[in-house]
Amino acid sequence: MKIYKARAPMRIGFFGGGTDVSPYAEEHGGKVLNCTINLYVRCMLTTSTTPGILIRSLDLQEVSRQVSDREWDGKLALPQAVLDALPQLRPTTAGYKITMFSDAPPGSGLGSSSALVVSMLKLLYAVAGQNADPHQLAELAYRIERVDLGIPGGRQDQYSAVFGGMCVYHFGRDRVIVEPVLSDQTALLELESCLILGYIGDRQLLTRHLMTDQVQRLVKGDTLRLHHETKAFVDTAARLLREQRIADFGRLLHDAWEVKKAFSPHIAPPIVEEVYALARKHGAWGGKISGAGGGGFMVFACPFDRRLAIERALTEAGVIVRPFSFVTHGVQSWVVEEPDV
């Protein structure tokens, strides 16, 4: 029996977040710097003796079953939408089961939803014996989330899950350019050694409401200048990485965070401000929320010799410090043979 598996990495967004969201990206050009990490959304497809399609999320403890062609009994909207979007890639066997889980909770700010969609798409292409163009794969994932399901957000999560690594993504009206930042891994290793990733808890507002608020403020013109400033940080940050000026990169994170908070009053609720102030008090150069804001994971840049002290202070404050490493690959799939039981 063939067992198909896939995994897509999540990412830490460093600079330019929000400029990849419509309508800013189409009207002014978006630019984002992020890097994938060794936290994944993982999927597996196996055949089943029971006819039909069954989807099981191990971490959410939810199950969806297909009732008819595009009708489901269950709450797993994202994987259901992937299967609905690509009926031609569904396995031809009478019954099969898709099992999945995420290394981070929903609403983490690490792009887990997009990693799920990308991982499932890669899985289905592998089952069909087809290779998907990376840009087309990212755009299809974007369409499923933003158009088919109407979930507000940008494009950086889908592209980072597909391409992987430390990249600058240029988002225009008609195309996306992927620009790898580092050819020498020394800077990536040094940055990793100076970063702390901490989970501060569930977002206090739904991401949908937070993103809608940010877009409304942009359309009104309230935050257009702030989006321009946010985008301008990206080129500076990429240059600092190439020059291995990690301390200056960390200080730039602080400057960019001050601008990002002005996008919406909901980005940095009191708990976020308190945790950030605590990290700064113990020696962090800077940091930010990873994702739209409101909660989830925060990342802090600090001197190597201050890292343990900051981690202890954060842990005492209830923050869950999560070890991680950067990865330079995007989504992956593979197949193994197991004897029939």
Residue 84 annotated to the active site: no
* Distances, alpha carbon 288 to alpha carbons 80, 145, 235, in Å: 33, 25, 18
Q: Could you give the CA distance from residue 324 to residue 321 in angstroms, rounded to a whole number?
A: 10
**Chain centroid to CA 230: how far?**
18
The answer to whether residues 335 and 123 touch, using CB atoms and an 8 Å cutoff, is: no
Token look-up 């797993």 returns 76
CB half-sphere exposure, 214, CA atoms < 13 A: 31
**Chain centroid to CA 314: how far?**
23
CB half-sphere exposure, 21, CA atoms < 13 A: 25
Q: Could you give the CA distance from residue 72 to residue 333 in angstroms, rounded to a whole number?
A: 26
The answer to whether residues 275 and 298 touch, using CB atoms and an 8 Å cutoff, is: yes
From 20, 73, 148, 157, active-site residue: 157
The amino acid at residue 321 is: V
The amino acid at residue 50 is: T
Q: Could you give the CA distance from residue 212 to residue 170 in angstroms, rounded to a whole number?
A: 22
Q: Could you give the CA distance from residue 205 to residue 107 in angstroms, rounded to a whole number?
A: 10
* Distances, alpha carbon 316 to alpha carbons 108, 200, 290, 310, in Å: 20, 12, 21, 10
- The residues annotated as belonging to the active site are 157
